[in-house]
Amino acid sequence: MERFIWSDLDAAAKLAAIARPTGISDASIIEAVTSIMAAVKMRGDEAVQDYTARFDGVTLTDTRVPDTDLKAAWDALDKNDKAALETAKANITAFHAAQMPDTIRVETQPGVMCRREPRAIEVAGLYVPGGTAPLVSTTLMLALPAKVAGVTRRVMVSPPGKDGKINTAVLAAAYLCDVTDVFMVGGAQAVAAMAYGTETIPKCDKIFGPGNAYVAAAKSLAAQEPGGPAIDLPAGPSEAMVLADKDANPAFVASDLLSQAEHDTLAQVVCVCTDTETADAIEVEVLRQLATLPRREIAEAALKLARMIVTDTREATLDVVNAYAPEHLIIQMDDPDAMTPNIRHAGSIFLGPWTPESVGDYASGTNHTLPTYGAARAYSGVTLDSFIKYISVQELTQQGLQNLGPAVERLASLEGLDAHRLAVSLRLKAMTS
């Protein structure tokens, strides 16, 4: 891990110390994704199947997964795996159900009543990555809040393996979460299918879920099109920042760093320590645990992007956090919750030695779909609100329009919009005639 002493750095060097990896998206990716999306928009399922054959090495004539396959996957699952999934489902459902919004009613002045009413989006597209790790947890994190919010149609896409099927555990999770539609398609072509709709895959109002650089680019491009879908948040490779002081357990810190490093060769982990002795102990423990990991090569590549930053005060530690805006922030310091009021930018925070980042990834109840690459400065992670939009309603009595109308007439005149002014003036005149 490259090491930096924070107090020794000037402003430019501090920015360099917390810089993200480069090369995550480039012109060639945008060009390739633009071509894929145009083909799917024009040729629908035929293009989706062509790209699936090219990129996944699987020829499919029907990408839909029958409901009977979902149930069969659940029935075939080990009982202990079922119990773990049900525990996660219960916690995720409970936390998100508590976020259900109420209608807001405000009489802004006598006779002027305004309301804000929540409505679930109608069709949600849920992207669940395949690749080297079947993300059962992502299925839970997207499908359960969508169902709790009242989304009518919950469309899940996930790339097929070489056997032409989606991982059995992912299908079992989809069954448990009552996903309405499942399709065997991944990559930019899956995003395009959800953005435009095909003969079999429905057009989605909003697209959710993580993915590689091609998936991220496709989501971004789809959202920019007139009439295109909304997206949950911009996403890059996974990342974690761990804060540690002299009382932190080096083995715990190392395990949290490695739990993110094993995700992806482009994942970034950053450790911020308050002393060099703790930093040394953590680095030794990282190397020890790394040697035991089945995904060692992936984690080892990610560690080349890792940072060890040594600070001398808690205030300086907070400066690093807020400048970096981490996706995951694990605080293994004395009185960790005392720091949270001053943390302005983070996707999700994990407090104390007994709260590994893994619990948020799977089953504590919070959502693991979080802003990366500094997007936590402006974005939240996925919440129930991500699946809900709001409609404003207003109703005026005669008294209300009499009270408010003159101000509206004046404002319309300031803008030179006479029809706006007249819509009020006609009504006011009708009241007195």
**Distance separating the N- and C-terminal Cα atoms of the chain:** 81
Q: In whole angstroms, what is the distance from residue 49 CA to residue 63 CA?
A: 8
Backbone angles phi, psi at 129, to 5 degrees: -65, 155
| Residue 238 neighbours by CB under 8 Å, 6+ apart | 210, 260, 263, 264, 267, 327, 328, 372
Active site residues: 327-328
Strand partners, 64: 183
Q: How far is CA 268 from CA 262, 280, 299, in A?
A: 10, 19, 10
- What is the residue whose two structure tokens read 């989006």? 121
- Look up tokens 């009021």; give the residue: 341
Helix 168-176 to helix 67-76 angle (10° resolution) is 110
Amino acid at site 85:
L
Give, for 17, the enclosing helix (H) or strand (E). Answer: helix 11-17
Question: Distance between CA 159 and CA 191 in Å, rounded?
Answer: 11
Burial 390-429 (b: 16+ CB within 10 A, else e): eeeeeebeeebbbebbeebbeebeeeeeeeebeebbeeee
Q: Which residues contact 64 (CB under 8 A, 6 or more apart)?
A: 181, 182, 183, 184, 200
Report the alpha-carbon distance of residue 264 to residue 133 in Å, rounded: 10
CB 77 within 8 A of CB 89: no
